[in-house]
Amino acid sequence: MSEPQPIAIGETAPTFTFRDAAGRERNTADLAGNPHVVYFYPKDDTPGCTREACAFRDAAEVFSDRKVEIIGVSPDNDASHDKFRQKHNLPFGLAADTGNRIAKAYGVWGPKKFMGREYEGVHRITFLVDSGGKIAKVYPKVKPEEHPAEIAADLEKLT
């Protein structure tokens, strides 16, 4: 089973639409001039994905102070995202990637294995996108609870 091939540092980040915390539809192209974080996760309201989302929630002020938008992306639909956002009070955008177009564009869709079962799915990988829309850092091995602090430290180097 091969690993996913995420897009590389220096490449232009693919653009996509997402719904912000207020439910407004936005596009990542509109974030030009400020860095943003795009984090991919497999499924709303599962243990690891919830820990990661809540860690980003708890660190949201650090990112907003630097004008850094956080966007979570999963194959779940908007209704699932709305429920997930409300249940955990998530103050950032979520993108419904029901056709896996965004995951494939970022190179995070690929073979997975869980309890002996092999299937195709989204890998938990995060991208830090610089103010010019280029990939500044790729985080292929994510520890959900520690991840936002790692990105915040890297933002210090970026800005």
pLDDT at 159: 60
Note whether 126 and 107 are within 8 A (CB). Answer: no
Which domains does the chain possess? 17-148 (3.40.30.10)
Residue 85: both structure tokens together: 């956002």
Note whether 102 and 95 are within 8 A (CB). Answer: yes
pLDDT at 25: 95
- Strand 93-96 and strand 69-74: the pairing is parallel
C-alpha distances (whole Å) from 39 to each of 53, 118, 125, 147 are 9, 23, 6, 10
3-state secondary structure of 148: helix
Q: What is the mean pLDDT of residues 123-145?
A: 94
Taking only the tens place, the pLDDT of each residue in 89-121 is 999 999 999 999 999 999 999 998 878 888 899
**Number of neighbouring beta carbons within 10 Å of residue 154:** 16
Taking only the tens place, the pLDDT of each residue in 39-89 is 999 999 999 999 999 999 999 999 999 999 999 999 999 999 999 999 999
pLDDT at 2: 62
Query: Confidence class of residue 145 from pLDDT cuts 50, 70 and 90?
Result: confident
Note whether 25 and 133 are within 8 A (CB). Answer: no
Q: Point out the catalytic residue in the list 38, 49, 71, 151.
A: 49
**C-alpha to C-alpha distance for 126 and 24, rounded to whole angstroms:** 23
pLDDT at 137 over 60: yes
Examine the residue annotation and report whether 54 is marked as an active-site residue of this protein: no
Residue 134: both structure tokens together: 């280029």
Check the CA dihedral 54-79-104-21 and report its sign.
negative
Q: What are phi and psi of 135, to 5 degrees?
A: -70, 120
Query: Confidence class of residue 16 from pLDDT cuts 50, 70 and 90?
Result: very high
pLDDT at 89: 97
